[in-house]
Structure 1
């Protein structure tokens, strides 16, 4: 009887946590380049980097925008995001509770791996 209670408790706890929340990292790296291979300073979520380079962002579901101070480049470039495939498995296995956890934590989102900034 004790094993049955423990098994039910373990399954209940697992269903309360989102699959993407467990399977994906809290942060994601985005590679940033420029169309003319020019080195420029960029900012994403108050984090600075120089192109070509990588910036690490928090996977929080918020829209990410790369800002550039160099006048010869587009001043802002949007980073596209998409739903991570792990999230769809969670809808099937974890149902409403698991998918709600993933959407609240923002871990259901993947950002583009590479972004190119248009420059003259």
Structure 2
């Protein structure tokens, strides 16, 4: 009789949890690097709330859910460095395999419809690693916009000719 009660208690506890909540976490580590390094990183969430500021390379813990029912997080990562073009990347939440498959096998409807959607453990953030190239150095004019200055070949000093590269014909 005691073994039957113990088995019933374990089965009840298993039905009150979700697989993703058991296996997953509410937060996820995201690695951010850039080329060149020491670029400024600003992360905001879907509500435009400031989440994190750093310089690359950096590692940040981000929440997977916003606390609402089926509320996955979305982040905007802006990376900038003086003299380089800025880049913006998105980090999105998607349901993970433990939520989809694990609840089919073990968690049941309670895990699938209540526990995992409320805890946020049902999500993975993607991508979980950003390596962003800021591209070539650009020239900025007085108001901060990118600019290209064209000059005639005859106006370029002879000492700079060896540094020039052929781009192509018009």
Query: For the superposition of Structure 1 and Structure 2, which TM-score range results when normalised by the shorter chain?
Result: 0.7 to 0.9
Q: Contact (CA 8 Å) 1:30, 1:57: kept in 2 or not?
A: yes
Q: Establish whether residue 20 from structure 1 lines up as the match of residue 36 from structure 2.
A: no
Taking the aligned partners of 1:108 and 1:33, their CA distance within structure 2 comes to 27
Say what the alpha-carbon RMSD is for the aligned residues: 2.1
Question: Larger helix proportion, structure 1 or 2?
Answer: 1
Deviation per residue, 1:73-106 (Å, 9 max, x gap): 12x3201333222222222211111122112221
Equivalent position of 1:105 in the other structure: 119
Partner of 1:116: 131
Please give the secondary structure, in 2, of the residue aligned with 1:92: helix
Structure index of larger Rg? 2
Shift of 1:11: 0.7
Q: Does 1:83 align with 2:95?
A: yes
User: Residue 95 of structure 1 aligns with which residue?
Assistant: 108
Q: Is the 8 A contact 1:44 1:57 kept in 2?
A: no
Shift of residue 68, structure 1, vs aligned partner: 3.8
User: What is the total number of aligned residue pairs between the two structures?
Assistant: 118
Matched residue, 2:33: 33
- In structure 2, the CA distance between the partners of 1:115 and 1:93, relative to structure 1 (3 Å rule), is same
Give the gaps of 5 or more residues in structure 1: none
Aligned to 2:63: 58
Which structure is higher in RCO with an 8 Å CA cutoff and minimum separation 6? 1
TM-score normalized by the length of structure 2: 0.60
